[in-house]
A and B are shown apart, each in its own frame.
Chain A
Amino acid sequence: MALSKIDVANMLTGATPVANGGTAITSGFKNGITMADLWRITTAFTDDATPIASNWERADTYGFGQLGTGMTESSGVFTFPSTGIYRISFHVYIYLNGDDRLIETKIQTTTDNSSYNNLSDGVSFIQQTGGALTYNNSHNEGIFDVTNTTTHKCRFTVAVGNSSTAIAGDSNTSGTYVTFTRLGDT
C-alpha cells in the first residue's frame, strides 16, 4: 500500500510537533536567510592595505545572485543594511615570487563607528615552490551582532612580511572577496 498521507494529528494527544506533520512551520520558525552579498577586489596590489580602502565592487558576473538588500561600501568601510546577526567571511588570494613567512588578514569591526577591533585574525605564508611564482590563500570568518547600523560597521586588512607579496584582484572571477550573510535577528 502506498503511503501518500498519514494524519498524524489524529494519532497523538496534545500539541503536534511540526516535525511530525504539524502545520505550524511558517509560524513556528523564522523564514530562511533573507540577505546574502559578495564584494571583491577588482585590482591587484602589493604590500599592506590596512584597511583595503579601494577597488571594491559587488560581484556582477557568472550568475552571481544577491539576496535581499546588500551592503554598502565607502573607502573600505562596509555598512549593513539592517540590524541582525551576520556571518562575515574574508578570503584573500595571495601570490609571490619569493618567500613570506607571515601574511596576516583580519576582519575588523567597530561598534562606535570609530575604533576597530579584530573580529577575526587569519595567517598564511608563501614558501616559493619550484623557483616560480607561488600561491596561497588566507581565510577568515566571523559572526557580528549588528544592533545599530550607524555604529556597527566592518573593514578588512592585509599585512604582509614581504612588501612584494601581491594580493590578487579581478572583476570577473572572485579571488579576494568578502561575503555577508544575515543569519537572523539580533
Chain B
Amino acid sequence: MRKDGRPDHIEDALVVIHNKQWFTWTDSKNKIYANLRLTEKVGVDGNLVDNTVTELPTESAVNAKLKELQDAWDAANGG
C-alpha cells in the first residue's frame, strides 16, 4: 500500500478478500501469488482455531480485486 492509500500490491487485495490472519507467504520477502498459502490456525478469543478460509482465491481473482481497489481509489482521487 502506498502511503497515500492507493493499493499497489496483491497483499492489499488479500486483506480485503477475507479478514483475520488467513494467509501467509512461503517467502515473505518475495510476496508473489506463487508464494501465497493459507494459514492453518488463526487466533480467536484467546484460542487457536482452524482457519475458516479453506481455499486460496485464484490469481485472477486476486488481481481483479486489486484492480477494483485501484480503480476505486483513482475515482475518489481524481485519477
A residues whose Cβ falls under 8 Å from a Cβ of B? 42-55, 57, 75-76, 95, 97, 116, 131-133, 157, 163-164, 166, 169, 171-172
CA distance A27 to B41 in the complex (A): 49
Q: Which residues of B contact A48 (CB under 8 A)?
A: 20, 43-44
Q: Which of B21, B25, B29, B31 contacts A49 (CB 8 A)?
A: B21
State whether A47 touches B19 (Cβ < 8 A): yes
Number of chain B residues close to chain A: CB under 8 A = 27
State whether B42 touches A53 (Cβ < 8 A): yes
Q: Is B16 in contact with chain A by the CB < 8 A criterion?
A: yes
B20 to chain A, nearest CB (A): 5
B27 to chain A, nearest CB (A): 9
- Residue in B closest to A76 when the chains form the complex, CB atoms: B43
B8 to chain A, nearest CB (A): 12
Q: Is B45 in contact with chain A by the CB < 8 A criterion?
A: yes
State whether A44 touches B15 (Cβ < 8 A): yes
State whether A53 touches B48 (Cβ < 8 A): yes
Chain B, 36-64, contact with A by CB distance < 8 Å: what is the 0/1 string?
00010111111010000000000000000
State whether B20 touches A54 (Cβ < 8 A): no
State whether A55 touches B28 (Cβ < 8 A): yes
Q: Which residues of A contact B16 (CB under 8 A)?
A: 46, 164
A54 to chain B, nearest CB (A): 5
Q: Which residues of B contact A50 (CB under 8 A)?
A: 43-46
Which 6 A-B residue pairs are closest in the complex by CB-CB distance?
A: A133-B5, A47-B19, A42-B28, A171-B28, A53-B43, A51-B43
State whether A49 touches B42 (Cβ < 8 A): yes
Q: Is B1 in contact with chain A by the CB < 8 A criterion?
A: yes
Q: Which residues of B contact A163 (CB under 8 A)?
A: 19
Query: Known interface pairs A49-B20, A75-B48. Does A42 touch B5 (Cβ–Cβ under 8 Å)?
Result: no
Q: Which residues of A contact B44 (CB under 8 A)?
A: 48, 50
State whether B41 touches A172 (Cβ < 8 A): no
Q: Which residues of A contact B75 (CB under 8 A)?
A: none
B38 to chain A, nearest CB (A): 10
- Residue in A closest to B46 when the chains form the complex, CB atoms: A50
CA distance A53 to B1 in the complex (A): 23
